[in-house]
Copies of this chain bind each other. A is one copy, B any other.
Amino acid sequence: MGDVKVLGFWASPFSGRVEMALKLKGVEYEYIEEDLSNKSPLLLKYNPVHKKVPLLLHNAKPVAESLVILEYIDETWPEGPPILPKDPYERSKARFWARFVEDKCMPAMWKACWSRGEEQEKTKEEAVELLRILDSEIKGKKFFGGDNIGLVDITANFIAYWFGIVAQVVGLDEVITKETHPNLCKWIEEYNNCSFVKENVPVKDKLAEKFKEGIQAAAKSSPDSAS
């Protein structure tokens, strides 16, 4: 198995993905918490391009970018439960939806949280529409990966757990409801009820506190900020 380290940040859904995948595979690892306001020499040395968590160190070799890390974990420990399906066409679908969550849904959902006024209304509508597409995709399935959690489910951890908490904080509860997104809501319930998931997500209240800070910081650093 070799020496496996994860440099992460407790509140980050991106770090959460990597830890979830390693736990799914039964790979033991050392977790190293990063202070994002004072990044460690280890992080800066091994992820000089993006300087971001999560970073996987396997036998001192670095792998960066959470979606790249998930595929690396699947290929390096093929004996555990699969993260991607075996069939090339099913794999391409998993990759497509993982990128849809990453590139489309998450930025819209996050911006809907911290933006204000008209812009918030616009991004909220955008998030609702994007999640409707995801709602159709999950219809009739337990997980995006079929009967078991796979690449898309792990990638969408923000939608299943993080967003529910941050949405409550900022009063955006109506973005995902049983009326607007019935299938996605069923998936969220199914996902968060997995004992495997429960053991691998940050404590709700602590995360809510952290999000309040994050949202204020994002709103302040926005070019549209009034302050």
Contacts and interface: CB of A to CB of B under 8 A. Distances in A.
A133 B99 contact: no
Interface SS of A by simple majority: helix
B91 A75 contact: yes
Contact of A69 (B49, B63, B76, B92): B92
A40 to B, nearest CB: 20
Contact of A96 (B58, B65, B88): B65
A111 interface: no
Contact of A95 (B68, B76, B88, B96): B68
B49 A72 contact: no
Interface of A: 49, 58, 61, 63-65, 67-69, 71-72, 75-76, 88-89, 91-92, 95-96, 99-100, 133
15 contacts: A49-B100, A61-B89, A63-B89, A63-B92, A63-B96, A65-B99, A67-B99, A68-B95, A69-B92, A71-B91, A71-B92, A72-B89, A72-B91, A75-B88, A76-B89
